Structure 1
């Protein structure tokens, strides 16, 4: 080995140069270290390749690009879909809540001396459908609305074959009726049963139509009725069964299965429409309704009807001619007044009751109009083109942009004045008013409603003034 410094020849084993004494480089002792370093470098490069490491940016292949795109698309889809599902669920829940809220003003509790049931408004004019077994032959019943107000109702149609009856309530003739389904509803349809089970008014239960074409015969004949699992109970009878999607009445809740509320039965509405429409066109007389079930102890038999016009024959039944209720001349020229029987009610009192019922019904619907900011609730009460219409539309339009709330407490009719072309109704009204800032105030108002009668004989509010 030659020294790199002086060129002296040394042995291969020499660590220092024999000529100049300098350390010899490149001895064999360094060779193992170099070998180890070289081996590590080679091994490291091999491992990096095996694990797809490299000293350059990896090139994207078609497969990897598609996989990444697919992965990203799936992530984006999941992110986008999740809120949609939640929002749709909330929307459906809101729709049902809104449907029930809008339906309750057209559902009633029907009361007689024997108990209570349910009913619903079938047609404008105050025509309320219920079960025959709810009214059981009574001619006069109590109709209670969703806010607890009682009104008179008269049974104008009833069957002793099918469990169906029709009531007319003049005070509710302006309430919005349900729309009814005209064909059979398929099994599996989601339904809502409304009514007053066990006297609990404004009750709604949700379920499904679980069976079709069930035939039964008890006190009445039930043909091709619906089986439902929506909860109903005693007192639900006569209430409406709604399609939860369309809001249409598809049935009349009528029966429990052996007093078991797990499931019940509802008469298809489409099968009874012809009968109900027939009663609307040709109402049954009170005598015919009473005679069908004989619930009155003092029921007047058919023999006391006037055969020509089916009116009462007063002379046979009461012992005097009905003409005797008029004033008559005595022989000395003075008036003798024959006192009216108790059955006669003063005509003015009847008129006052009708006017009061109209105002009461308007105020009930007005409360819904204010809550929902929706003029349609009171449209039928207001004369078209009148100052009342303009003022109420403007008020509701203004209310829609504010967070103000009204809670109606009471409306009392204090006076009624009959004019040639109109009726003035004076009221005292109280309500709670909550402002936008959250403060609360009790409002007390004296109002005058000017009412006219339209071409159909219905009351219409023409003007509303504060007194």
Structure 2
């Protein structure tokens, strides 16, 4: 074998050149070494396959880094959030406790001779809202506060259409009033119902607003009322329904569903605020309040006993003066109640048709209700004729019959009417009118209006 460096001839077994002394790389002695290395490599490869080696340098991809960071952050987030959730829960419980504690002095038990209900302070000065069916036309009521003290209260507003009434009690005029919600509350809102169910004062129950826009008609008309699962019972009527978060009054608890406490109904406060404010600005007279439900058959309100006001006689409460000048005969009480109801229905029917007559400028809607040739007919025809020349509109809100008086010639019906009047310039004015309808029987025995005048 020749040396690749100097060309000296060496034997085949030589490991180094005899001429220059350099290593002989082409020597056959390297073959065993290569064989060993190759054998080790092949053996390692086989072992690696059996043990699932990847034979790759370890490295981290973007995805793996992101995954590990997310997992780490989530773990840290859980550790950090745990105490925060606990703190928030404690704070919420504390808020409800404080809210109820602060609200109870402004919630009252309302008593009459017929029973009791609840009410709440709507405005400073002693203005207390309750249900109409709680006071049922009484003028004098008892107002009991959260510590059991009794005070006098006077009903200064009540409706026979919507189940709402307003009481004024001077003894409680310095109590802090509730703040009321001015718009519809969404379903799912947590609520607190306060009141005196079964006469148990200072009662609070927590639940949720579970339904909206429920319409019912019983003794009163209930429109778009709230359905709640906060427990209420007899005696809760008139109490406030609070938003458990804001503490605002969102409703007036009014009804149970089929005499159980599984769920009840509350009148949205925002729908009644306008009427309540009107009563505050212009209170109804005690006579009008008493006459609306005819509950005083033999009772004169305490505020008018021993009074110089002689107008508070028995006839003001549905009774009759037996003098020959006005009446020929004193009717039976039961017959009178039936007659009163018929007269009221007649007046309500007339007002309903009267609104249509105005809307369509057509007297025929009310012709059957008006006596032919009477002053009422001529005045109504003239009014419709004048209205046809103008761009004005009337929207009737409510008509309450406050008194019915019988004479040997006619029936005098006293009313309290509210309506919105839209002028030609587009401005809207709220109107209140007290009217006297003189009603007669025609030859067929039907009621007809002979004269309409302002009280």
Q: Would the aligned equivalents of 1:290 and 1:299 in 2 still touch at CA under 8 Å?
A: no
* CA distance in structure 2 between the aligned counterparts of 1:222 and 1:71, rounded to whole angstroms: 55
Partner of 2:338: none
Q: What SS does the corresponding residue of 2:174 show, helix, strand or coil? A: coil
- Counting only pairs closer than 5 Å after superposition, residues 305-344 of structure 1 correspond to structure 2 as 312-313=309-310
Which 10-residue stretch deviates more, 115-124 or 209-218? 209-218
Q: What SS does the corresponding residue of 1:125 show, helix, strand or coil? A: coil
Unaligned runs of 5+ in 1: 1-38, 53-57, 305-309, 318-467
Shift of 1:297: 3.5
Change in 2 beyond 3 A, CA 1:74/1:212: closer
Change in 2 beyond 3 A, CA 1:51/1:316: closer
Partner of 1:282: 282
Normalising by structure 2, we get a TM-score of: 0.53
Shift of 1:274: 1.3
Which 10-residue stretch deviates more, 61-70 or 120-129? 61-70
- Counting only pairs closer than 5 Å after superposition, residues 420-435 of structure 1 correspond to structure 2 as none
Shift of 1:66: 4.8
Say if 2:92 is the partner of 1:95.
Answer: no
Q: What SS does the corresponding residue of 1:265 show, helix, strand or coil? A: strand
Shift of 1:51: 8.2
Shift of 1:253: 0.5
Change in 2 beyond 3 A, CA 1:271/1:263: same
- Counting only pairs closer than 5 Å after superposition, residues 257-276 of structure 1 correspond to structure 2 as 257-276=257-276
Which 10-residue stretch deviates more, 239-248 or 287-296? 287-296
* CA distance in structure 1 between the aligned counterparts of 2:198 and 2:77, rounded to whole angstroms: 50
Change in 2 beyond 3 A, CA 1:130/1:51: same
* CA distance in structure 1 between the aligned counterparts of 2:86 and 2:289, rounded to whole angstroms: 53
Shift of 1:88: 1.9
Partner of 1:216: 216
- Counting only pairs closer than 5 Å after superposition, residues 49-448 of structure 1 correspond to structure 2 as 50=51, 61-62=60-61, 66-299=66-299, 312-313=309-310
Once the two structures are superposed, residues 329-351 of structure 1 have per-residue CA deviations (whole angstroms, 9 ceiling, x without a partner) of xxxxxxxxxxxxxxxxxxxxxxx
Partner of 1:322: none
Q: What SS does the corresponding residue of 1:171 show, helix, strand or coil? A: helix
* CA distance in structure 1 between the aligned counterparts of 2:149 and 2:261, rounded to whole angstroms: 29
Change in 2 beyond 3 A, CA 1:103/1:156: same
RMSD: 3.3
Q: Would the aligned equivalents of 1:138 and 1:290 in 2 still touch at CA under 8 Å?
A: yes
* CA distance in structure 2 between the aligned counterparts of 1:121 and 1:314, rounded to whole angstroms: 32
Q: What SS does the corresponding residue of 1:88 show, helix, strand or coil? A: helix
Q: Would the aligned equivalents of 2:249 and 2:269 in 1 still touch at CA under 8 Å?
A: yes
Change in 2 beyond 3 A, CA 1:282/1:230: same
Shift of 1:270: 1.2
Change in 2 beyond 3 A, CA 1:279/1:315: closer
Normalising by structure 1, we get a TM-score of: 0.52
Change in 2 beyond 3 A, CA 1:75/1:138: same
Aligned residue pairs total: 270
Shift of 1:298: 2.4
* CA distance in structure 1 between the aligned counterparts of 2:313 and 2:207, rounded to whole angstroms: 56
Q: Would the aligned equivalents of 2:300 and 2:312 in 1 still touch at CA under 8 Å?
A: no
* CA distance in structure 1 between the aligned counterparts of 2:61 and 2:184, rounded to whole angstroms: 57
Unaligned runs of 5+ in 2: 1-39, 315-455
Shift of 1:315: 11
Change in 2 beyond 3 A, CA 1:171/1:211: same
* CA distance in structure 1 between the aligned counterparts of 2:71 and 2:183, rounded to whole angstroms: 49
* Runs of 4+ deviating beyond 6 Å: 314-317
Q: What SS does the corresponding residue of 2:118 show, helix, strand or coil? A: strand
Q: What SS does the corresponding residue of 1:157 show, helix, strand or coil? A: strand
* CA distance in structure 1 between the aligned counterparts of 2:213 and 2:312, rounded to whole angstroms: 52
Change in 2 beyond 3 A, CA 1:66/1:281: closer
Partner of 2:450: none
